[in-house]
Amino acid sequence: MSTSYFFRVNLAMTISQFIKKLSTTFAGTAFVALSGITAAQAISITPTSNGNDLVNEILGSGITIAPDSINYIGTGGASGIFTDGLLSGIGIDSGIILTTGTATDAKGPNNSDKKTTDNKLSGDSDLDGLIPEEQTTFDATILEFDFESEGGDLYFNYVFASEEYVEWTNSKFNDVFGFFLNGTNIALIPGTSTPVAINTVNGGKPLGTDASNPEFFNNNDPSEGGPFFDIEYDGFTNLFTAQALGLSAGTHHIRLAIADAGDAFLDSAVFIQANSFSDMPTNTPTDTPTGILKDMPTDTPTGILKDMPTDTPTGILKDMPKDMPTGILGSQSPEDVPEPSVLIGLFIVGFAGSLLKRKINKV
């Protein structure tokens, strides 16, 4: 296992993207400097390649594992057991993580757009079958075993996450995973026969353009206004349930597999909920955090937002001329015009800093 340098070439940054990055940096600095909050790593991960430990973590009621059937393929650091996932906003509090890189890299905050570890492993033929023929997979991590279902059904809950979002959406770098039950993938977009992958669940590139099933996608990309969640990955799906109904009596085989696609760079992960591998549906958490802002203290320090004037100062936004001169905003192409939310965010952060400075000077 080795950490690799990333060298894909992307398009030049637009003015809007530059301002987004700038505002993200200022906003993060303001939160720490003005509120006195220190960021904590919410999710906790214990790396393990012990297949028995991984299977026992997700095993629920009504399922019996066949003796000596558990097999793990991958590096020691690519998988693990996690806790406190709800605090990171992924919708699962505990369970196992299988990655194409290093499991502990999932910990927040998201301070990199390109976290990657090249494990120097081959891909997986089953996963190759889920992506276009001209693509291939790398760095596969696989957990497989045999089981029996007492009730004849199978359910388990999971979330897919990746560093490929958003920059490499709708490209050949289509990281993929699958849950192959008796050879058939059951990791599907709800109500469809479409496998869950980068190019099938996303917010588009740029965000909002040519999206696929965006209602199931959560953006966390620093280049697209994030991060919003205390986790490293630039995007992740909603909580999904894999299921198979009416299984025949006897033993069945399942392979839980994930791999990089197109190249071995930029990691992806699948989180599987603890005790949800069952013959009955497992309740999903209802108190999933909505991101960083949910955990902001209710007693905001005086001088930040509490004392924000209700009347916007003259000369900032109120008196902005309606006919902007050519060369300021009017000459930019539509995709380069900064989003209003970005400009307003910059204004609020700057004004809050100004208020704080005045209060400090009075002391």
pLDDT digits (tens, 9 = 90+) for 213-230: 999 999 999 999 999 999
Give per-residue pLDDT as tens, 306-348. 344 444 444 433 444 444 444 333 333 333 444 444 444 444 4
The pLDDT value recorded for residue 318 is: 42
The pLDDT value recorded for residue 155 is: 98
- Burial degree of 192 (CB within 10 A; 0-12, 13-18, 19+): exposed
pLDDT category of residue 188 using cuts at 50, 70 and 90: very high
Give per-residue pLDDT as tens, 5-26. 444 444 434 444 444 444 433 4
Indicate the average pLDDT of the chain.
Answer: 76
pLDDT surpassing 70 at residue 355:
no
The pLDDT value recorded for residue 117 is: 77
Q: What are the DSSP calls for 289-336, one per residue?
A: --SGGGGS-SSPPTTTSTT--SSPPTTTTTT--SSPPTTTTTTS-GGG
The pLDDT value recorded for residue 228 is: 95
Instruction: Give the Cα separation of 97 and 95 in Å (integer).
Output: 7
Give per-residue pLDDT as tens, 254-267. 999 999 887 767 89
Give per-residue pLDDT as tens, 229-253. 999 999 999 999 999 999 999 999 9
Delimit the domains of the chain by residue range: 39-292, 301-362
Instruction: Give the Cα separation of 260 and 136 in Å (integer).
Output: 8
Q: Which of 56-60, 110-114, 315-319 has the lowest mean pLDDT?
A: 315-319
pLDDT category of residue 41 using cuts at 50, 70 and 90: low
Instruction: Give the Cα separation of 88 and 109 in Å (integer).
Output: 9
Instruction: Give the Cα separation of 264 and 262 in Å (integer).
Output: 7
The pLDDT value recorded for residue 63 is: 98
Higher pLDDT, 12 or 1: 1
Instruction: Give the Cα separation of 228 and 220 in Å (integer).
Output: 5
Give per-residue pLDDT as tens, 63-82. 999 999 999 999 989 999 99
The pLDDT value recorded for residue 54 is: 98
The pLDDT value recorded for residue 168 is: 81
Give per-residue pLDDT as tens, 122-165. 888 999 898 887 788 888 999 999 999 999 999 999 999 999 89
Q: Average pLDDT, stretch 161-170?
A: 89
State the residue for tokens 């026969």. 193
